[in-house]
C-alpha cells in the first residue's frame, strides 16, 4: 500500500468525522477553537485506534481468508463507502448542538470510527507500517475535524452531505483498485 492510498483512505475515513464536526460548528454561535481542538482530538484518536483493533482482528484470521482477501477488502470498502454515500442522500433528522461532554463525544467518536475498524481488518492483508498508517489517519482526521468545525460555523451544513459522498466514493474506488491489482488488470 503506497502513500497515495494511505492518504486517500485517511481522507475517506475522516469524512464522517468531518461531517459531524461541521454540525458541531453549525451549532456554535461564535467559533470556539478550544472546542474545535477537543472535537478534533476525540475523532482523531478514535479514528487512529479503531484500525489497530481491526488490524489485529484481521491478522488473527488471516490464514483462513488469504485466498479471498481481495474480495473481502472490496466487499468491506464497498459496503462502508456505499453506506456513506447512502447517508449523504438521507434527510438529516438530528438537531446540531455544541455540547462536547465526554458522553456525547464518546458516542460520536465511536459512531464515526466504526468504518475505521472495518478498514483496519483489511490492513492485515497488506504489507504496511501500521504505526505510520494509523498516525496518518489520526492526524488527517484531527485536522479535517477542526476545519469542519470552522466550516460549519462559517458556512453551515452545506458541505456535510458532499463530504460523506466523497468519502464513500474514495473508499469504493480503493476497493476496486485493490481487486484490479490482485486480478492483474492494473
pLDDT in tens, 121-161: 889 888 889 999 999 999 999 999 999 999 988 875 566 67
Q: Is residue 45 part of a domain?
A: yes
- pLDDT for 59 beyond 70: yes
- What pLDDT is attached to residue 66? 66
- pLDDT for 104 beyond 80: yes
Q: Is residue 46 part of a domain?
A: yes
Q: 164, 36, 29: which is closest to 92 by C-alpha?
A: 164
Domain count across the chain: 1
- pLDDT for 92 beyond 80: no
- What pLDDT is attached to residue 159? 66
Q: Is residue 98 part of a domain?
A: no
Q: What angle do CA 55, 57, 58 make, to 5 degrees?
A: 65
- pLDDT for 96 beyond 70: no
Confidence of residue 20 (pLDDT cuts 50, 70, 90): confident
The answer to whether residues 16 and 164 touch, using CB atoms and an 8 Å cutoff, is yes
The answer to whether residues 52 and 136 touch, using CB atoms and an 8 Å cutoff, is no
Q: Is residue 100 part of a domain?
A: no
Q: Is residue 137 part of a domain?
A: yes
Average pLDDT over residues 55-74: 80
Confidence of residue 71 (pLDDT cuts 50, 70, 90): confident
Q: Is residue 29 part of a domain?
A: yes
Query: Which residues span the domain enclosing 144?
Result: 3-91+114-182
Query: How far, in whole angstroms, is CA 41 from its chain's centroid?
Result: 14
- What pLDDT is attached to residue 73? 77
Distances (CA, A) of 74 to 12, 63, 125, 176: 15, 18, 12, 6
- What pLDDT is attached to residue 50? 95
Average pLDDT over residues 105-112: 89
Q: What percent of the chain has pLDDT over 90?
A: 33
The answer to whether residues 48 and 138 touch, using CB atoms and an 8 Å cutoff, is yes
pLDDT in tens, 21-41: 887 888 788 899 999 999 999
- What pLDDT is attached to residue 75? 85
Average pLDDT over residues 104-122: 88
Distances (CA, A) of 33 to 13, 120, 149: 23, 30, 9
Q: Is residue 99 part of a domain?
A: no
Q: Is residue 109 part of a domain?
A: no
**% helix / strand / coil in the chain, to the nearest 5?**
85, 0, 15
How far separated are the first and last CA of the chain, in Å rounded? 14
Amino acid at each position: 500500500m503506497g502513500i497515495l492510498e494511505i492518504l486517500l483512505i485517511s481522507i475517506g475515513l475522516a469524512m464522517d468525522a468531518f461531517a459531524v464536526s461541521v454540525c458541531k460548528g453549525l451549532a456554535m454561535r461564535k467559533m470556539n477553537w478550544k472546542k474545535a481542538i477537543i472535537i478534533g482530538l476525540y475523532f482523531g484518536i478514535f479514528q487512529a485506534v479503531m484500525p489497530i483493533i481491526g488490524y489485529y482482528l484481521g491478522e488473527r484470521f488471516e490464514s483462513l481468508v488469504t485466498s479471498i482477501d481481495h474480495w473481502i477488502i472490496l466487499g468491506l470498502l464497498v459496503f462502508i463507502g456505499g453506506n456513506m454515500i447512502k447517508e449523504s442522500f438521507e434527510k438529516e433528522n438530528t438537531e446540531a448542538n455544541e455540547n462536547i461532554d465526554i458522553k456525547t463525544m464518546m458516542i460520536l467518536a465511536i459512531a464515526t470510527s466504526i468504518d475505521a475498524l472495518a478498514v483496519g481488518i483489511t490492513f492485515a492483508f497488506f504489507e504496511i507500517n501500521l504505526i505510520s498508517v494509523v498516525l496518518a489517519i489520526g492526524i488527517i482526521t484531527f485536522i479535517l475535524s477542526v476545519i469542519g468545525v470552522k466550516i460549519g460555523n462559517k458556512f453551515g451544513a452545506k458541505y456535510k452531505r458532499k463530504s460523506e459522498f466523497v468519502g464513500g466514493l474514495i473508499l469504493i474506488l480503493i476497493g476496486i483498485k485493490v481487486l484490479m491489482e490482485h486480478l492483474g488488470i492494473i
